[in-house]
Amino acid sequence: MFQPIRGCLPGLAVLVSAPFFFPQVTGHLAVTNALGMPESCFTSPSQVHFYLGPALTNCTTNQPVDGDYYFQVTDPSGVNLLSTDPLQDRRFTVRGGRIATGNGVHVTLNSAPCPPSRILSVAPFGMSVSAMCQYKLWVTPVWEYHLKPAGFHGFVPHRSLAQNFVVMKPVAQSTITGFAFYDFDEDGTWQNQPGGEVPLAGWRIEIWRDEEFEDVTFTDATGRYEFMRPFDPSAIYEIRELPPSPGYIPEPGAIWLSTNARTGLVAAGQANVPGPDFGNVEFELAVGAGRTRGFWHNQGESLLLACDPDWREELNFTCLRRPISTANPSLSIFLVPEPPATFATAFAALSGWIVGQGAGGHAGYQLSAQVAAAILNNTCGFMQGSIYIDRMQNGQLVSLAQMFQDVSGLLCAPGAGLTGPGDPPQPSPIPGVDLRTAMLMCLNEFDSINNTGSTTEPQIVYKSRSTPSQFPSPYEP
């Protein structure tokens, strides 16, 4: 239901900061046994080793950058550090895209899946408190380690690789994996190729069973999460994503939007179980985005020419009204001439209608002119694409597409042509509010959107970011 407001509130929206987004760390990380074979379940810490090198599929692509790295072992969430020796003893060197040397008691072995790669021993590390005897191995470049420490004991997710493993009595295991990604086009599908959409690192993922929380993890630099559970085809788990506080739009102050399901069910009935992938996108304030109806009367002509005839179709879909009081749709509805009419003909009709006729207090026309300007801003102007609006100027974002849909219900109402100051009250889709009153209340919202071109006006337009900003991780929901 359309929620109108009575006038505009003072004050400016707060600009969302946008830290630089680093590219993800390269290299393939795998937990292995002492023979260099990828493995996830062990009976002793001394059996646990790891490989860092090029992709196992061809031993040439996705090589790690040469230099020194640190590793650590934590519980699955990353919150509890389990490695017991000093950090400097957990330092190793990569040369030629392969592990070359290690420090301390961590022995390098030549048994690796991509010769002449080596593997590195992981022990010593303490016992995990995880009910499933799970551990997480982290690897990060030394130059990305944070001394403060930030992230997970200095290992920051967007610059680290991670893999889970189990140390327990031998039992069959199911490994549940999936990804969180930045879904810029909001289609719910990850375009995971060079130059495509990027992974979301440090994103909180939880696993539940029978509505009871079991464990939490955070995605690594590749956007990957992992849970390990005993093999049991009858065991059904729910995988949930949780965004940074204060949550998802439309929560007040929220700037994140999920683009597909926030949960997914999996059964632990095979060795490798694909979990749900989670798409998300972030919005930031777009200062100076809107232009007034006066702009589209004259200055916007070149912008409309560049996107002709799309703007004509968009306007004609919305039941725009002329400034006359009549119930006759053929007289009250304004239509832009569509092809084969020329652009010049169409623009002259728009220019004369949007500001050139006296409104006479006709609410249907006044609202139509502001809605038309907002449509042109979104179709041909400086606020194209997916847009959210701080509609009540209270930090609670609303989709502009939803606002267009809602206001269409007012403009397309049977009595929309009879909304002049002397016309009898007409029913509206809003219970208890006549149509003219509802239109005048909504008029303020679209006027505020279109006036954001002036930076002295309240800035309420939010665009999706081209890449995600960094956020603290780990974080609580």
Q: How confident is the model at residue 360 (pLDDT cuts 50, 70, 90)?
A: low
Neighbours of 100 (CB within 10 A): 14
pLDDT surpasses 60 at 358: no
Q: How confident is the model at residue 30 (pLDDT cuts 50, 70, 90)?
A: very high
Two structure tokens written together for 58: 């061809």
The mean per-residue pLDDT over the stretch 248-266 comes to 97
Selection from 152, 190, 168, 131 nearest residue 73 by Cα:
152
- Cα–Cα distance between 448 and 446 in angstroms, integer? 5
Amino acid 25: pLDDT: 86
DSSP string, 272-326: EEEPPPEEEEEEEE-TT----HHHHHTTTHHHHHHTTTHHHHHHHTS--B-SS--
The mean per-residue pLDDT over the stretch 450-467 comes to 96
The mean per-residue pLDDT over the stretch 443-468 comes to 96
Selection from 415, 417, 414 nearest residue 368 by Cα:
417
123-147 burial by CB neighbour count: b if 16+ within 10 A, else e? bbbeebebebbbbbbbbbbeebbee
**CA 428 to centroid of chain Cα atoms:** 36
Q: Do the Cβ atoms of 389 and 397 come closer than 8 Å?
A: yes
What is the pTM assigned to this prediction? 0.80
- Give the chain's length: 477
Amino acid 24: pLDDT: 66
- Cα–Cα distance between 69 and 102 in angstroms, integer? 10
DSSP string, 164-201: EEEESS---EEEEEEEEEE-TT-SSS---STTSPPB-T
Q: What is the mean pLDDT of the chain?
A: 91
Pairs from 368-372 (Cβ < 8 Å, separation ≥ 24): 368/318, 368/320, 368/321, 368/334, 368/411, 369/293, 370/293, 370/443, 370/446, 370/447, 370/450, 371/318, 371/320, 371/404, 371/407, 371/411, 371/446, 372/293, 372/296, 372/315, 372/318, 372/320
Q: How confident is the model at residue 321 (pLDDT cuts 50, 70, 90)?
A: very high
Q: Do the Cβ atoms of 469 and 17 come closer than 8 Å?
A: yes
Residue ranges of domains in the chain = 28-285, 293-458
**Percent residues over pLDDT 90 in the chain:** 83
List Cβ neighbours of 363 (8 Å cut-off, separation of 6 or more). Answer: 419, 420, 435, 436, 439, 440, 443
Amino acid 384: pLDDT: 96
Listed in order, strand segments (DSSP E) in 82-128 are 91-95, 98-102, 108-109, 119-121
- Cα–Cα distance between 377 and 165 in angstroms, integer? 52
Q: Tens digit of pLDDT for each residue in 161-176?
A: 999 999 986 678 899 9
Backbone angles phi, psi at 225, to 5 degrees: -120, 160
Rg (CA), the chain: 29
DSSP string, 462-474: EEE-SSPPP--SS
Selection from 471, 23, 35, 431 nearest residue 243 by Cα:
471
CATH 3.40.50.150 for domain 28-285, yes or no, is: no
The mean per-residue pLDDT over the stretch 243-248 comes to 96
The mean per-residue pLDDT over the stretch 325-352 comes to 95
Packed helices 400-411 and 435-450: angle between N→C axes, nearest 10 degrees: 150
Q: Do the Cβ atoms of 442 and 3 come closer than 8 Å?
A: no
Amino acid 18: pLDDT: 37
Two structure tokens written together for 379: 């179709």
Two structure tokens written together for 420: 């002049």
Amino acid 357: pLDDT: 61
- Cα–Cα distance between 448 and 219 in angstroms, integer? 39
